[in-house]
Amino acid sequence: MEMEARVRDSFERQGLMHHLGAQLTEIAPGRVHIILPSRPEVTQQHGYFHAGATSAIADSAGGYAAYTLFPEDSSVLTVEYKINLLAPAEGTHLEAIGTVLKAGRTLTICRLEVYAIQPTNRTLTATGQQTLIRIDKRPER
């Protein structure tokens, strides 16, 4: 199965991304974009995007960025990630970008960025770094 189809197929099986309303928008080797439209279910008490929703799409964007570089008969799991929330996230949607910084045989390191998109501007609202593990000979279910 080609890389893009494998990533899309896996993303479709992600219950949390479906529950949040997140959408996979760009896939390239070592880089994935996910958007999350604004709606009341993903906000906190002040109307900003909830940090949990922001973190979830960042984690998935990084995970899928790593997965684009993995062999077909493998899977990916997050080992750890650190995220810094830089500004309140408000706008029409969020865009998370995961980018592979270093792909290793077992561990892969990704940069995570989340932007709040408004009609007239794009604001970096969160940034982070993530470590993922490749599990060989264990395709996804």
| Sequence spans of domains, the chain | 3-135
pTM of the prediction? 0.95
Q: Which residue has the higher pLDDT, 137 or 2?
A: 2
Contact of 140 with 76, CB cutoff 8 Å = no
- Has residue 48 got a pLDDT over 80? yes
Q: Is CATH 3.10.129.10 the classification given to domain 3-135?
A: yes
pLDDT at position 139 is 64
For residue 27, give every residue at least 6 positions away whose Cβ sits within 8 Å of its Cβ, in sequence order, or none. Answer: 3, 4, 7, 8, 33, 64, 68
Residue 91 phi, psi dihedral angles, 5° rounding: 155, -170
- Has residue 1 got a pLDDT over 90? no
Residue 88 Cα distances to 37, 51, 53, 65, angstroms: 15, 9, 13, 25
Q: Where are the extended beta strands (E) located within the chain?
A: 23-28, 31-37, 75-85, 93-103, 107-117, 122-135
- Has residue 68 got a pLDDT over 70? yes
pLDDT, one tens digit per residue, over 86-115 is 999 999 999 999 999 999 999 999 999 999
- Has residue 44 got a pLDDT over 90? yes
